Amino acid sequence: MIEGILIGLNTALSLTNILMVMVGCFAGTIIGMLPGLGPMTAIALMIPITYGFDPSTGLILMAGVYYGAVFGGSTSSILLNAPGVPGTVATAFDGYPMAQQGKAGKALAIAAYSSFAGGTISAIFLLIAAPSLSKVSLSFRSPDYFALMILGLTAISAFSSKGQFLKAMMMVVLGLMLATVGQDSLSDITRFTFNNMNLTDGISFVLIVMATFAMSEALTIIFRGKDPNRAAKQISLTELGSIKVNKEETIKMAKTIPRSSILGFIIGVLPGAGATIASFLAYGMERNYVSEKEKQQFGKGSVHGLSAPETANNAACSGSFVPLLTLGIPGSGTTAVMLGALLGFGIQPGPRLYQTNPEIFWSVIMSMYIGMVVLLILNLPLIPYIARILAVPRNFLIPLILFFSITGIYLMSFNNFDIFLMIGIAVVATFLRLYDFPMPPLILAFVLGGLMEETLRRSLLISNGSPNFLWDRPLTLILLLLTAAIVGWQTYTSFFKKKT
């Protein structure tokens, strides 16, 4: 492991890669701050650029963007009560009241320190857990992988949108349908191309991400621009206050950070859960731990209430890399985007990544920690200046997002068809989002579609077409029972549980 860490450090500490972490953190922070644009969009916008780099550098840039975007989301949560990402919704509960009390600078500093601590602790967990887990994951066979993917898709559907399980599952099926367009990987038979040569290679992953996130996000902002409930709230950016944290506040943070980090990391490892669930759970857990007097402060600017979700969401970000790097199964929508990017580099993440490309495996882990340090050093002094980006008028912001989306596709294919296809998918996605059909399950299904078909093919061929492979191995059975439990719980909460 020490050798691996040294390899990782050697790669991550090269001048180019440090520069990439810095650029990534900075760009991610700015994108994450823009309302509605989260880590997924930020990473998606970076993909075309990363193809110009080697895989390690590209991944390091994306890891920086990921952390930057999560931190950026906290900034808009605290300053505007407009979370840039779902994972920072809980941050606004106490961060925004703090900002309203003229302590926005302090709130941003607490968020930055908590994010740093949460990220650091979970990076250590990742360092310890990932190699052991990758050894365990070598025992996974095709039926287990197939069952694991079913579990991951069911879990993300259950968690992505509260009370909308069936809608999310419908998005999973749509994602799988889109993934089957193009040549079959084994026989090269074309499917669903309708004799259009542009579809022979299938639909590009970047196109799907750009259309369903960046572009449809921009269209949604314009579409709902007249909605008074969604109008962006502006505050005076001169009222940031001091960014210094006093002794009493530091003690409060020191109590909150360890437990929220552990919780965040564990939640992050689970497929489909991710930063949003982690931050809400940490907020709830913290409320149960503090004194009765402190409990009254929750929702009114509590340090515990701000620190807990911020620590947990960053810890969950690191945690979500565990299933990606060790099993090749993304645990969240964002890591699904990263998986797509990795596949674009010709790298198949999974248990063998640890052996075949150790420099990538370790450099990503090490760059996460470096990303945390950079984020703290770079962003803390820049908070007042970064916050000014929130004043960019919508009239400029939306066209620029559309420009980045279309450029991303143009750079990849240099053909009009992909641009038109992206616009079409973005329009459909905009209407689907309007009626609460979540997009992360679609992305995860699109990314996993090919792998799922491959593992199902192997499983069925080994079992000679019999469905016995679903229960022959205990691991497969356990994973499928977990899936059934999630479906059962969702059915119960949707149709039988009375509203409280």
Partner 1 sequence: MRISPTKFISLLFLIFSVFYLYTAFNIQVFSFDENAPFNARTFPIYIGWAGIILSVLLIVLPEKSPVKVDHKYLDYKSIIYLLVISIIYGAVILKIGYYLSTSLFLIASYYFLGERRWIWMFLLSFPFVALFMFLLHGVLGIYLRDPLLKLLGIIG
Binding site for partner 1 (CB under 8 A): 48-49, 51-52, 163, 166-167, 169-170, 173-174, 176-177, 180, 184, 186-187, 189, 191-192, 219, 222-228, 393-396, 398-400, 402-403, 406-407, 410-411, 414-416, 419-420, 423, 427, 430-432, 434-437, 452-453, 456-457, 460-461, 463-465, 494-495
Q: Within 10 Å of residue 332's Cβ, how many Cβ atoms? A: 34
Q: How many CA atoms lie within 13 A of 140 on its CB side?
A: 24
Q: Using the minimum distance from each CB to partner 1, give the nearer residue, 121 or 172.
A: 172
Residue 215 CB, nearest approach to partner 1 (Å): 9
Residue 182 CB, nearest approach to partner 1 (Å): 11
Q: Using the minimum distance from each CB to partner 1, give the nearer residue, 403 or 471.
A: 403
Q: Do residues 97 and 241 touch, judged by C-beta distance below 8 A? A: no
Q: Do residues 475 and 361 touch, judged by C-beta distance below 8 A? A: no
What secondary structure, in 3-state letters, does 179-204 show? HCCEECCCCCCEECCCCCHHHCCCCC
Residue 334 CB, nearest approach to partner 1 (Å): 24
**Which amino acid belongs to residue 468?**
N
Q: Using the minimum distance from each CB to partner 1, give the nearer residue, 294 or 453.
A: 453
Residue 174 CB, nearest approach to partner 1 (Å): 7
**Residue 289 in tokens:** 């731990």
**Which amino acid belongs to residue 462?**
I
Q: Using the minimum distance from each CB to partner 1, give the nearer residue, 198 or 407.
A: 407
Q: Within 10 Å of residue 401's Cβ, how many Cβ atoms? A: 24
Q: Where are the alpha helices (DSSP H) in 235-357?
A: 247-269, 274-289, 292-295, 303-319, 321-327, 333-344, 353-356
Q: Using the minimum distance from each CB to partner 1, give the nearer residue, 385 or 435.
A: 435
**416: helix, coil or strand?**
helix
Q: Using the minimum distance from each CB to partner 1, give the nearer residue, 171 or 336.
A: 171
Q: In this structure, what are the phi and psi dihedrals at residue 51, rounded to the nearest 5 degrees? A: -65, -15
Residue 461 CB, nearest approach to partner 1 (Å): 6
Q: Using the minimum distance from each CB to partner 1, give the nearer residue, 183 or 348.
A: 183
Residue 35 CB, nearest approach to partner 1 (Å): 16
**Residue 69 in tokens:** 């975007």
Residue 125 CB, nearest approach to partner 1 (Å): 35
